[in-house]
Amino acid sequence: MFIGSHLIKHQSGATVRPSSSFPMHRSYLFLLLSAVLLLSAPSGDGSAVDPTRVVQLSWRPRAFSYKGFLSDEECDHLIDLARDKLQKSMVVRDDETGRSVMSKERTSSGMFLDWRRPDDVVAQIEERIAAWTFLPEENGEPIQVLHYGHGEKYVTHCDFFFDEPNQRIGGQRLATVLMYLSDVEMGGETVFPYSDDGDINSWANCEGAGFAVKPRKGDAFLFFSLHVNGTADVKSFHGSCPVIEGEKWVATKWIRVRAFEFPKVDSEA
């Protein structure tokens, strides 16, 4: 597998190397984060988060789920924005130029929401993501809405970059938030085959060991691609299992280590 060999190629290099594990004081950390969220969240604000809905799934990689992150109406709204604008998904193939190409390893369709003119619903979701992750809103790339039809998948891959050009517009990708916009009758799980916490869930095993997250409408999933010291976490390699029955809609939010520099459009050049 191309991506698997990519992991082996870079695992011993200076750019991608494992580091020490995340601190083990989990219960104290959770209580601290819960207290901060509860005290800082504005009352009645649609961007507020509820820490009681958050569950830690793994520490290698650091991964958390959030039940009911989006309302049904918000999920349907994102799908409506994307449905008529979908194009075949691409992957970053060239480590020197950062060029993206179509590939049989990623067979979904997707589109990026217009970051220049976000509507009120999208703006509120963006604020909620920043509140949950404790990462500045300006560090985020535009939300990408993806559709997976029958048999469509994304093989094991990483979200952090190996190329330099993609890191010039905001640095490395630090974290990813996946927001599931639909239920999937069968298949479509997000899998982490290299995770150390393979016994957490018992869903699909389409890419070997590790753990899997089943898509449920409204739920969100956060994982970190970098260790706390800024080095790449090879345990964060993940994939999307083929959809066996039904269809899968998901919105992806990639978050950089610093403010994301949006590319100029023709009218701004």
What mean pLDDT do residues 147-156 have?
91
Kindly tell me if the per-residue pLDDT of 172 is higher than 90. Answer: yes
Kindly tell me if the per-residue pLDDT of 43 is higher than 50. Answer: no
Q: Say if strands 154-157 and 211-213 run parallel, antiparallel, or are unpaired.
A: unpaired
**No. of helices (H) and no. of strands (E), the chain:** 4, 16
- Cα distance between the two ends of the chain: 40
Residue 19's closest CA among 47, 61, 53, 65?
Answer: 61
Residues contacting 164, CB < 8 A, separation 6+ = 96, 98
For the whole model, what pTM was predicted? 0.77
Residue 58, amino acid: S
What mean pLDDT do residues 210-228 have?
95
What mean pLDDT do residues 166-189 have?
95
The domains found in the chain, sorted by start residue, are 2-7+61-260 (2.60.120.620)
pLDDT attached to residue 137: 95
Residue 46's closest CA among 148, 131, 134, 142?
Answer: 131
User: Is the separation of the CB atoms in 215 and 190 below 8 Å?
Assistant: yes
Of the pLDDT bands very low, low, confident and very high (cuts 50, 70, 90), residue 88 is: confident
pLDDT in tens, 2-14: 333 333 333 333 3
- pLDDT, greater one: 209 or 169: 169
Note the helical H segments in 134-237: none
Average pLDDT value over all residues in the chain: 79
Distance CA 229, CA 251 (A): 28
Distance CA 98, CA 94 (A): 5
Residue 256's closest CA among 163, 137, 126?
Answer: 137
pLDDT attached to residue 199: 46
pLDDT in tens, 13-40: 334 433 333 344 444 455 455 555 554 4
